[in-house]
Structure 1
């Protein structure tokens, strides 16, 4: 049991304020999404609508836990969690502000200068400033420490050269938080020498090239940097602290309800189809899926409580992300076994939702950290390696 002492989940309980907020969010979504078909809801947090993001900002549902001095609302992590899970369960189009709210804003709040906090955070909280994450690179797989994009320091700032790939919403974002090498690694320490820069996406020398997914949708991109000059105040945090900062950022990315609700619309439609005609075997299989969602929800809520308490949930977040991706990929396959349906983007609701989800499903075990990387993090947390 001593091996498990560093690997626990903090119990999370709801509050009257959180449940009152849940009702408010549901009322809002009932009107805002009343004409949104299930196939579009299946996009979950990949659905993009900047007007919707601004409407969320007007209601105080972005930057919820941040200080009011930076446009935040000083609400609890649990209240923020309630908003997230209601948005995702309903299939709301939250992609525009998602990365900025989930990881970029907290990173700037934690590591940025006062000027950076004042400059970026209020716009994010209003749903008006969108940020993409410049992490993955061609030919490096999931090994972020192999990143080769380099920023050379000059008298006035940094000059950036390199390429990022799989960059969600780079073509729509105002800024990128770029993970790059600013110095050679220390001997035997390949995670050293990295920094993060906040880069204006309109800076000369940046070329954004679209990548289309299996459904023909354009969400992700290749971003090339050719002699891109940024000022000294683009540096986020301390030079050389990039690896430490990005690991904290990824803990936020991996722990939320989006890591097990990406296939939730399939579950909703499957339940609708079986509501009045489920056999014992179908009801059992459906109940098993619902039980898995419930357990992952408790684990994810626990991480929200840990973040509120100032704990480091890196390992717990990796567990939720890994188990969540397994479930997300399993749900559409189970649906096909339980009812007679085939993926068809132009078919009935279940068929269309199934098609949209299955086209996206291969990415579920890649985005936010590949399965092998996550299991390495878990193994280290359990002191198995």
Structure 2
């Protein structure tokens, strides 16, 4: 691991210190407040108080400059903190979208007033945001978005519907991608803009989309004649596609694209290595294969972190990380289930209730892994175009 850090110009001791801080924080916080590790915690575990405590500990808003209330740290330090939060299944959903996507987008494209107003709230854990991209009939093909923003006196009027909008029912704001000029069949990616829309604005309607389990993470968000002043335009009118592409590099390449099931994997590995269980060589080899795949995927993900640190927009590499990482997440659930069946058949030992619960939750979320953030099928098209194959 130290090699990948060196490529980013980081000293191993710096990153070890950051990792030690977040581990100490999580151990203390879990003992005091009693949260339990969860699979897919960045979507499924909303805990506003946890986000506040993380901010108070100086472990949120790490890449936000100090002048805007952040820590002014390098991107890889945030990466290390994110790894630990995900691996331990901490309840991070409340601040996730704002810290991961909205903050870097504001830093790159936002006005000074927007940065001054919003970034300190993100860094302290007080601000929650959702992203309004996908639509009925469009899905991962963002060029097919039909939500429109029409010019009005002093601003814009938005009409349309977004779907699969994670956390919108809790969010203070939705970052909305809308068409601001007529569609051009010859240039499908032109004519889009982004807007910062408060969820309590007149004309915003939020309806839940529940999982089969009854969990409520996703929403349909309808915009009916929603007025947005010019001050809430994000970036430049007509530059929305470029901005969204840059933003998605943060969404698609992070460790959450390969570590959503890590609390389950760590719990199983810990159980298999206990004195109570004696796994066969085939089970041990399967666990070793899992570990090797995680290490390889992590190398790809940190390569994107290096590019982001250098100010680049590695959209193709991020799409590849998301494809490979989320497929691993899905396959890891099936592999763990088979491993547990094999161990029970060989030894008669059954997994602990904690492992059984984590596996159940992983099954419920398994289908989501390759869909959110752009379906893997669409992302393969992105990679192919980047390689000049399409």
Measure, in 2, the Cα distance between the counterparts of 1:22 and 1:272: 20
Shift of 1:272: 2.3
Calculate the TM-score normalised by the size of structure 2. Answer: 0.92
Measure, in 1, the Cα distance between the counterparts of 2:228 and 2:256: 33
**Which residue is equivalent to 1:366?**
371
- Is the 1:77–1:308 Cα contact (8 Å) retained in structure 2? yes
Residue deviations 1:252-280 (CA, integer Å, cap 9, x gap): 10010000001112211221231141110
Shift of 1:139: 1.7
1:83 is paired with a residue whose SS is helix
1:15 is aligned, of 12, 17, 20, to 12
Measure, in 1, the Cα distance between the counterparts of 2:164 and 2:66: 33
Measure, in 2, the Cα distance between the counterparts of 1:37 and 1:112: 37
**Which residue is equivalent to 1:313?**
314
**Which residue is equivalent to 2:40?**
43
Shift of 1:363: 0.6
- Is the 1:18–1:82 Cα contact (8 Å) retained in structure 2? yes
2:229 is aligned, of 223, 228, 231, to 231
**Which residue is equivalent to 1:255?**
253
Shift of 1:185: 2.9
- Is the 2:36–2:89 Cα contact (8 Å) retained in structure 1? no
Measure, in 2, the Cα distance between the counterparts of 1:310 and 1:229: 33
Q: How many residues align?
A: 370
With CA pairs under 8 Å and 6+ residues apart, which has the higher RCO, 1 or 2?
A: 1
**Which residue is equivalent to 1:24?**
21
Aligned-CA RMSD value: 1.6
Counterpart mapping for 1:120-139 below 5 A = 120-139=118-137
Select between 305-314 and 321-330 the one with higher mean Cα deviation.
305-314
- Is the 2:209–2:218 Cα contact (8 Å) retained in structure 1? yes
**Which residue is equivalent to 2:362?**
357
Residue deviations 1:43-99 (CA, integer Å, cap 9, x gap): 321211001111111122222112211112111111111100000001011111111
Shift of 1:180: 0.4
Shift of 1:215: 2.0
1:208 is aligned, of 200, 206, 209, to 206
Calculate the TM-score normalised by the size of structure 1. Answer: 0.93
Q: Is residue 192 of structure 1 aligned with residue 194 of structure 2?
A: no
**Which residue is equivalent to 2:388?**
383
Residue deviations 1:279-337 (CA, integer Å, cap 9, x gap): 10000000100110111112111211111112221111111100001110011101111
- Is the 1:214–1:360 Cα contact (8 Å) retained in structure 2? no
Counterpart mapping for 1:120-159 below 5 A = 120-159=118-157
- Is the 2:193–2:236 Cα contact (8 Å) retained in structure 1? yes
